[in-house]
Amino acid sequence: MNRLTHLPTLRIRPESRRDIHYRGKAHPAAAGDTIATALYANGVRIFGRSLKYHRPRGLYSLDGECGNTTMAVDGVPNVRTETVPARAGMTVKAQNVVGSAERDLLGFMDALSFAMPAGFYYKTMHKPAPVWPLAINRIRKQAGLGAIAPDFEITGVFDELYPRADVCVVGGGPAGMCAALAAAEAGLRVILLEARPWMGGFFDYRAAAHPGGGLLHERARELADQVEKAPTIRVFTSAAMTGAYHDNLITAVQQGGDDDPFDSRYLQIRAGAMVAATGCIERPLLFENNEKPGVMQVGCAHRLARTWGLMPGEKIAFSVGHDLGLEAALDLAELGGRVVCVADIREDGQDPALAAALAERRIPYFKGWVATEAQGRPTLGRAVFSTITGTVQKEFSCDALVASAGFTPVTGPLNTAGAKLAYDNHTGFFLPTDLPPKTHAAGRIMGLQDPLSLETSGRLAGLRAAADCGKRVDDAVRDAEAALASQPGPERGCKLVTAPVKGKKTFICFDEDTTLKNVKQAMAQGFDVPELIKRFTAAGTGPGQGGIPGHNLPLFVAQTQASPDKHPRPTTVRAPLVPPLLAEYAGTNHDMSKRTPVHESQAAAGGKMERIAVWNRARVFSKSKGAKAEIENVRTNVGMLDASTLGKFRIFGPDAVKALQRVYAGDMTKIPSKRMKYAAMCNDDGCLLDDGVIVKQGDAGANDFYFTASTGRAGQTVEWIRYHAKYENWDFHLVNLTDAYGVINLAGPNARKVLEKVADADVSNDAFPFMGYREFTVNQTIPVRAMRLGFVGELSYEFHVPSSWMQALWDVLAEAGAEFGIQNFGLEAQNTLRMEKGHVIIGSESEQRTNLLDLGLGFLWDRNKPEAKTVGAVALRQAEHQKGRLKLVGFRMAEPADRAPKDGSPIVDDRIRGYVCTARYSHALDMPVGMALVEDELTPEGTRLSIFEDGCEGNLIHGEIVSMPFYDPDGKRMRM
Amino acid sequence: MFGKSKRLWPRAPMKTAYDAVIIGGGLHGLATAYFLARDHGITDVAVIEKNYIGFGGAGRNTAIVRANQRTQENVPLYKEALDLWPVLTKELDFNLMFYNCGNLNLAHGEATLKAMRLNVATAQFHGVKSQLVDPKECKELVPALDISDRPRYPVFGGMYHPPGGIVRHDAVVWGLAKGAAKRGVHIHQGTEVAGIGTSQGKVVSVETDRGKIHTPRVLNAAGGYAAALSHAFLRQRLPISVLTIQAMVTQPLKPLLDHVVSSGTYHCYGNQTLKGEIATGAHMDPWPNYTTDTTAYYIKHQAEALTEMLPCLKGVKFMRHWAGLADMTPDMAPIMDGNDPIEGYYVDCGWGYFGFKSSTVTGKYMAQFMAKGECPDILKPFQLKRFQEHRLMGETAALVNYSPDN
Ligand SMILES: Cc1cc2nc3c(=O)[nH]c(=O)nc-3n(C[C@H](O)[C@H](O)[C@H](O)COP(=O)(O)OP(=O)(O)OC[C@H]3O[C@@H](n4cnc5c(N)ncnc54)[C@H](O)[C@@H]3O)c2cc1C
């Protein structure tokens, strides 16, 4: 197609050519073309087929308000080709077609639309019942627009940016640019977001005169120039805002240009104040076949010509409700287009100069007329017009029908920021009634059209935003207010919602193929709120969301209900305002996990690392089944485990002990200096939250403790203490040392022999007994806090050292242990070792309803500290004699030859009576043993348990309650 | 088939007295009204809805249904609920669009698999189909799934539950409204309940912004607002924390996911609706609030999580993001109770983010409760007193905490 050249408004560079591929052919595009404009230039008029009726769909708007021109591009479905630049080598495919967009084998669906009234699916397909499962498959195949392959892998660089700004201006039209300039002049840092690749907005493509002199597009470039030169304004073009969240957190997605190092980037801006200057889209005109390819909006036709040098058609008809439509008709004629007629919905109120210019050009001009039907197959060939009352008709042959009822303010940024909207009778808009704090609106979004008013309102909003950021701009605000008051205010909007038609093929929502008739059907069935009609007819729930129906639906509903108390009620606008790819949201998908200070050496030693919540931990080192070698090594020799993931804290200050008393079940006042106590924490229900050890540091008088929490509970422990001390005014400090300290567990009968070689202290059993706590150095250098604990049931030490010393201590111990054959052990081995000892892991042997008594840990509860108001104590007292609670028991298999049951298997009789927590083959005992939570009736020793494993099909296996611990019941080995 | 359409639920005059009043035109309220009329001949019932029916969780949920819960108190209830969808579709002559696609829950570690084993075995014990699957089987069920070592939490196995699926949530609301109205129930939209009148320990009336209604029975089925109303009207405090929960959908696609896929580790589930959108939900907000605001954090989190499991979805777009309320009890099981301590006052709440699937069956038994005045056995485990006795239900193994200390 021949392009208009030499227009000052053009945004293409025809000399820079690139090819895109469509239907097996290369189609030339110019730099600056979108995919859609390039295809249009190559004669493509049908871009795809509609969802339900497979109607042909063409270029209608250029800002992606509907899915008409969404296509698959390089395997990515639903790409808005109107807004995506054409890049060399792109492969483009039409969607929802069987065959091609022009010849779609499912095109006959359109003729069946009568059989699919609103709510069709709800009322059919379920009779008779067996039909439904079959119908589902059909429905699924019919539904959906684009397709994605299950093995699709996206390519490209998806970046993220989190800037901070004083003022964020959304929209780079005249109002937005003036707002940005005003805020920048006040000395603020401004971010300006513009969805199009350039600033200029409403002025950019227009050749009308600016009241201040020159032409509108010249003024646009002048303002853009000033914005670009302003040192404190950062402009993001091709950056569509996706939502505003609490406290002016504004998100957007920016498309990378040819020279950007990213393909796309997610922007999340924290701004002091926001100015929404997003202007208007057009309110679609409702008439028969109002979405036939060839029908397009005013801005679409006008920008096609002015920005991309493409005349929308050979014979162009207009049906509009505003002066901008008249201006576009005249401008197209000026550019050499053949305008066959202009129907103006308005009887009066037009700019007389425009009317006169139409007359001068001998363009047939009809006031009080409107298009009622688009005809032609498959694209537009003729249009029918009538008076708005429908009494007189005329027909014009045309291949483009430029149709627009009025404007719709793009209030999405305000909606998502939390503004409430109400219907405004003068403009016919839903306008914000009250804006959230530090949020402003400017420009056409307020109903303004006059170029000077737009600029002044922008300036005013920019100044008000500056005031929000603490700038003293009162005088300037007053001046701007006065200036705005003296300029033309909001224009009266065109009230016509629909042409005089029955509405069988009048589409209120293109994406969902919802017609006026469907809306009427919904209303007849009792759906009288726009929000419910939306759900029942699906209008506004497709890819373009409310873009097409968002304004017309509530107007139509209010008009049809025609009762005076029914003010139009808008449907809800939700983020994302433009739909980003999941790849764009996911961005770099940075993984923030934690590694212990000896992570590398664990992995190098063959540790199989596993993500456990935020941590990476070694599950096993050896290849032997069930970590048998590691287990045996600990039982008979000596092993080392990296336990750095334990929560570690210091609490100190005059009231530190009171805080501990509150949250721990035991008595924390009774820990002697430099001693340690094992303790448990319960929630208000007396259920076990956490366990750990508490060390009293310093002298007897010091209120200074070091304590531990289980892996993964560090954060919650801090919050728990903070919460329970909140109203007490206690004076203490709590420091989370979890990442500052590492922990090594040295365990096994030879552990002392290893330690003796390196510790600068007497670590004999007398000097450092079981449950003892010592502080000493290793090799005269490494400061350690050493605890003798017995989680795995052997002679065992826990060393807590500053993280920076962890690797050194690990290496020292490994070297000292080499002569004994010391080995690493991992979580898998630890799990069996502790299970043999009957030691619980929270969440494994306890559920959230398991209290301290249920676990047999009642000895950790000191009931003689009532003044402490111990969390959970009341509940423990109440639960003490309750029947039917699940209790922790040990069991072995009734048939010695049976294997251990699978963890999690229920214990049953005629109902479920409990379940297996952990069961393993114990190498030490040479038989399977396990722990289970069972109803109290089943706890006596010798009780037979029937275990129902998944997939057992009724073949139960049996266990028998035995006492715990299974291994070394007297605890001699820990005390060795 | 396409004769002149009638209103699905006719406009009804507001009377000054009803046999029963139901607060909340959500799923639970409408279902109870329907069963009061269907099973107990109590048709003089008013459903009072502040906004429009389906405004609350009923219209915002992601419509997942299943019966593979953890405990024997729950499984039979949810099993009956699953069996009810086809029955009600026929009875209401309204297609509830039960899509029985089955649910796949992913495990990313040994501990999760163990937890799933209990659910699976419990289901099997009750005759409900459910089984553990290995990563290869997961991939066969959901070809888009990444079972390589690439994701942060590689797939370790899963739990597959064929009887579950999704149901069209709006259809349930409208179908129940239609069925209830047909049997004489009055549905009053745009009407707010402002108080409950009692006399000598008995309910006698309900205050609304359209006047007083005399009634001996009232059901509080106000979803996320139920606990607040209970406290405001009767000073009854329920152990409920209310949190915003968010969900979103992608643009519609041709069939890609044939099952509901979910992962607790990623805090993420996804399913493809019959319209072709991938509906996906996120975890609740980290602290209590009634805002129903969406957050930038969650939609981003959701994209990260979902594309780790299903990498092809990187090429798909999110289209709409919304939020509703989840009313959470300390044990993640609901509160269904009544006549205690105030005669004639019933509550059905605490349904959090799982009260869609159970709505019909709950309505059936709450109706029985309200008609007979005696708690049906199947509802007894859900009574309020379990919290006073510190005997939580075992629906969740992990410790949960939704209070401000969280
Ligand atoms: C995002 C999200 C996803 C979910 N996903 C699922 C899922 O996949 N599966 C599942 O099973 N469940 C899910 N749920 C949970 C489910 O939606 C709820 O549990 C269920 O809707 C509760 O139903 P309800 O009837 O009790 O309450 P609602 O549906 O919330 O209804 C309560 C009604 O009470 C009205 N009301 C409140 N106050 C008053 C008053 N004073 N007077 C009159 N009326 C009043 C409200 O307007 C509302 O309409 C989800 C919830 C959310 C929010």
C-alpha pair distances (Å), A958 with each of A832, A926, A947, A963, B24: 21, 18, 6, 16, 50
Percent of chain A with pLDDT over 70: 99
Separation of alpha carbons A198 and A426, rounded Å:
32
> In angstroms, what is the span from residue A519 Cα to ligand 1's centroid?
26
pLDDT, residue B1, reads 38
Is the residue at A840 inside a domain?
no
- The token duo for A38 is 């390039």
Whether B378 and chain A come into contact, CB under 8 Å, resolves to: no
Burial class (CB in 10 A: 0-12, 13-18, 19+), A684: middle
B93 to chain A: which residues are within 8 Å by CB?
Answer: 123, 126-127
Lowest mean pLDDT among A757-771, A799-813, A937-951, B391-405: B391-405
| CA distance, residue B195 to nearest chain A CA (Å) | 26
3-state secondary structure of A408: strand
Q: Is A290 within 8 Å of A549 (Cβ atoms)? A: no
Together in a domain, A633 and A750 = yes
> Within 13 Å and on the Cβ side, how many CA atoms surround B134?
1
Judged by a CB distance cut-off of 8 A, whether residue B391 touches chain A is yes
Q: How many residues does chain B have?
A: 406
- Facing residue for B152 by CB, picked from A77, A591, A687: A591
Q: What is the pLDDT of residues A569-588, one digit of tens each?
A: 888 899 999 999 999 999 99
> Is position A116 within any domain?
yes
Task: Tell me which chain A residues have a C-beta less than 8 angstroms from the C-beta of B122.
Answer: 906, 912
3-state DSSP: chain B helix, strand, coil percent, rounded to 5? 30, 25, 45
Range of the domain at A303: 287-404
Q: Has residue A19 been placed in a domain?
A: yes
Q: How far apart are CA A955 and CA A430, in angstroms?
A: 67
What are the CA-CA distances from residue A662 to residues A694, A714, B387 (Å)? 14, 18, 22
Low pLDDT (below 70) residues in chain B: 1-4, 403-406
- Per the CB < 8 A criterion, the answer to whether A412 and A171 are in contact is no
Q: What is the CATH number of the domain that holds A957?
A: 2.40.30.110
A925 and A882 housed in the same domain: yes
In a domain, A867, yes or no: no
pLDDT digits (tens, 9 = 90+) for A370-389: 999 999 999 999 999 999 99
Asked if residues A626 and B343 have their Cβ atoms less than 8 Å apart, the reply is: no
> What's the angle, vertex CA B236, arms to CA B235 and CA B238, rounded to 5?
135
H-run or E-run covering A850: none
Query: Helix H segments across A391-473?
Result: 412-417, 451-468
Please tell me whether residue A122 adopts helix, strand or coil conformation: helix
Residue scoring higher pLDDT (B402 or A936): A936
A382 & A514 share domain:
no
Query: Ligand 1 centroid to A522 CA: how many Å?
Result: 23
The verdict on A827 and A901 lying in the same domain is no
Q: How many Cα neighbours within 13 Å face the side chain of A44?
A: 31
Q: Which residue, chain included where needed, has tokens 């309020």?
A: B384
Q: Does B148 touch chain A (CB under 8 A)?
A: no
Cβ of B224 closer than 6 Å to ligand 1, yes or no, is yes
CATH code where residue A719 lies: 3.30.70.1400
Instruction: Specify whether A299 is located in the same domain as A254.
Output: no
Contacts of A151 in chain B (CB under 8 A): 143-144, 312
Judge if the upstream peptide bond of residue B86 is cis by omega within 30 degrees of 0: no
What are the Cα distances from residue A503, in Å, to A508, A515, A754?
9, 6, 89
Average pLDDT for chain A: 95
Whether residues A657 and A731 fall in one domain: yes
Tokens of A3: 């392009």
The residues, any chain, with a CB within 8 Å of residue A136's CB and separated by 6 or more, are B99, B274
Q: Which of B260, B326, B53 is nearest to B171 (CA)?
A: B53
CB A866 within 8 Å of CB A876 = no
* A382 shares a domain with A424: no
Mean pLDDT along residues A321-344: 97
- Residue A612 confidence class, pLDDT cut points 50, 70, 90: confident
Q: Which of B289, B327, B249 is nearest to A246 (CA)?
A: B289
What's the Cα-to-Cα distance from A902 to each of A905, A916, A922, A952, B107, rounded to whole Å? 6, 8, 14, 11, 16
* Phi, psi values for residue A777, rounded to 5°: -110, 160
Is the shortest distance between the CB of B219 and ligand 1 below 6 Å? Answer: no
Both tokens assigned to A94: 């039409």
Which residues lie across from A655 on neighbouring strands? none
One-letter amino acid identity for A330? L
Subunit contact A576:B121, Cβ cutoff 8 A: no
Does residue B27's CB lie within 6 angstroms of at least one atom of ligand 1? yes
Determine the atom of ligand 1 nearest the C-alpha atom of B348: 26
Q: Which atom of ligand 1 is nearest to the CA of B224?
A: 30
| CATH number for position A466 | 3.50.50.60
What percent helix, strand, coil does chain A show, rounded to 5? 25, 30, 45
ipTM of the assembly? Answer: 0.96
Measured distance CA(A86)–CA(A94) in Å, rounded: 15
Band of the pLDDT at A281, cuts 50, 70, 90?
A: very high
Neighbours of A496 (CB within 10 A): 20
Domain boundary among A57, A92, A120: A120
Sheet of strand B186-188, all strands in order from the earlier edge strand to the far edge = B186-188, B45-48, B20-23, B218-220, B345-349, B335-338
Domains, chain B, ordered by start: 20-61+169-239+331-388 (3.50.50.60), 103-162+241-328 (3.30.9.10)
- CATH number of A814's domain: 3.30.1360.120
- A81: domain CATH number? 3.10.20.440
Beta strands in A345-500 (DSSP E): 365-367, 369-375, 382-387, 393-397, 400-404, 406-409, 420-424, 429-434, 439-441
Between A625 and B192, the more confident residue is B192
Q: Is residue A839 part of a domain?
A: no
Give pTM, 2 decimals: 0.95
Same domain, A677 and A765: no
Is residue B285 within 8 A of residue A557, CB to CB? The reply is no
- Structural domains in chain A (count): 7
Under 8 Å between Cβ of A459 and A440: no
H-helix or E-strand spanning residue A178: helix A174-185
In a domain? residue A201: yes
Arithmetic mean of pLDDT, A939-945 = 97
Q: How far is B60 from chain A (nearest CA, A)?
A: 11
Same-domain pairing of A783 and A805? yes
What element of type H or E holds A50? none
User: By the 8 A CB rule, do A544 and A67 touch?
Assistant: yes
Contact A266, A590 (CB under 8 A): no
Pair A417, A270 in one domain: yes
Task: Give the residue-averaged pLDDT of A661-688.
Answer: 94
Q: Which of B353, B357, B359, B361 to mutate to test the pocket of ligand 1 (most atoms within 8 A of CB)?
A: B353
The amino acid occupying position B222 is A
Cβ(B34) to ligand 1 under 6 A?
no
Nearest CA to ligand 1 atom 31: B26
Task: Tell me which of A73, A148, A610, A931 to substitute to probe the interface with B (most B C-beta atoms closer than 10 Å).
Answer: A148
Give yes or no: residues A946 and A882 share one domain: yes
Cα gap B384→B369, rounded to integer Å: 15
How much is the pLDDT for A706? Answer: 97
With contact defined as beta carbons under 8 Å apart, do B120 and B103 qualify?
no
Distance B168 CA to ligand 1 centre (A): 15
Question: Model confidence over A393-435: pLDDT tens digits?
Answer: 999 999 999 999 999 999 999 999 999 999 999 999 999 999 9
Residue type, A267: L
Contact A219, A451 (CB under 8 A): yes
Establish if A345 belongs to a structural domain. yes
Q: How far is CA A160 from CA A157, A253, A585, in A?
A: 10, 9, 9
CA of B349 to the centre of ligand 1 (A): 9
For residue A965, cis peptide bond before it (omega within 30 degrees of 0): yes
Residue A263 sits in the same domain as residue A295: no
Q: What is the DSSP string of A227-247?
A: HHH-TTEEEE-SEEEEEEETT
In this structure, the residue with its CA closest to atom 4 of ligand 1 is B61
The domain boundary, picked from A692, A715, A736, lies at A736
Among A265, A536, A585, A846, the strongest candidate for a mutation testing the B interface, having the largest count of B CBs within 10 A, is: A585
Residue A153 lies in a domain: no
- Tell me if A462 sits within 8 A of A227, measured CB to CB: no
Say yes or no to pLDDT of A11 above 70. Answer: yes
